[in-house]
């Protein structure tokens, strides 16, 4: 596993498309039980090299009901983004994750983690990649139908502060989804 992580950290497969250059952010361990697959690091995470080291990460840890220490223990959580490096700025936020990373590295990582029991799919890119045709037409429908994907996959919206409007429009998320997410996470830790 360590050799694979070192190879990922040295990856430059899409360096010509990265405005801040490559700085792959990933965390995993052969004993990881839960995998979090998000989008791609933002500028703050690119600078620190620590996954989910921003407001979105704080919100995610609240949703999971875990401490920073628990979250950053790779034996509990492997953190594997769809794109390992900051992709750049778009018109309404960051650009989508680079498409080279997941096909290049995800399967190799998951093969090294035989104890994984839950894969949390954060956002549309992760959900479409892993759920394929089983993903609903919209992220909202996929998240609302989260029980369909259990026990292995758990789809979530992105915990970005920009999603406050989505959260206020979908109060069922906090009532129906978060308690089940917390129960599953606590059971695996």
- Higher pLDDT, residue 69 or 49: 69
pLDDT value at residue 162: 85
User: d(Cα 159, Cα 146) in Å, to the nearest integer?
Assistant: 16
User: d(Cα 97, Cα 81) in Å, to the nearest integer?
Assistant: 8
Percent of the chain with pLDDT over 90: 90
Instruction: Calculate helix-pair angle for 178-188, 55-64, nearest 10 degrees.
Output: 80
163 has pLDDT over 90: no
Q: Is 37 helix (H, G, I), strand (E, B) or coil?
A: strand
Range from 66-75, 120-129, 138-147, 161-170 carrying the lowest mean pLDDT: 161-170
Please give the DSSP secondary-structure letter assigned to residue 59.
H
Which among 105, 126, 104, 94 has a CA at the least distance from the CA of 18?
94
pLDDT value at residue 56: 94
Angle at 112 between CA 110 and CA 117, to 5 degrees: 55
pLDDT digits (tens, 9 = 90+) for 98-155: 999 999 999 999 999 999 999 999 999 999 999 999 999 999 999 999 999 999 999 9
């Amino acid at each position: 596993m360590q050799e694979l992580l070192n190879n990922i950290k040295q990856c430059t497969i899409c360096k010509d498309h990265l405005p801040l250059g490559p700085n792959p952010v990933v965390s995993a361990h052969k004993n990881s039980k839960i995998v979090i697959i998000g989008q791609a690091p933002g500028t703050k995470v690119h600078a620190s090299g620590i996954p989910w080291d921003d407001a979105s990460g704080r919100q995610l840890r609240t949703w999971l009901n875990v401490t920073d220490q628990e979250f950053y223990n790779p034996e509990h959580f492997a953190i594997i983004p769809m794109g390992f490096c900051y992709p750049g700025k778009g018109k309404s936020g960051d650009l989508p994750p680079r498409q080279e990373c997941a096909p290049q590295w995800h399967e190799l990582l998951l093969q090294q983690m035989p104890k994984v029991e839950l894969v949390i799919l954060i956002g549309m890119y992760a959900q479409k990649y892993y759920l394929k045709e089983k993903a609903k037409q919209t992220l909202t429908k996929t998240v609302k139908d989260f029980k369909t994907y259990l026990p292995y996959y758990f789809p979530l919206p992105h915990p970005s502060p920009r999603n406050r409007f989505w959260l206020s429009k979908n109060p069922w998320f906090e009532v129906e989804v978060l308690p089940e997410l917390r129960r599953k996470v606590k059971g695996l830790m």
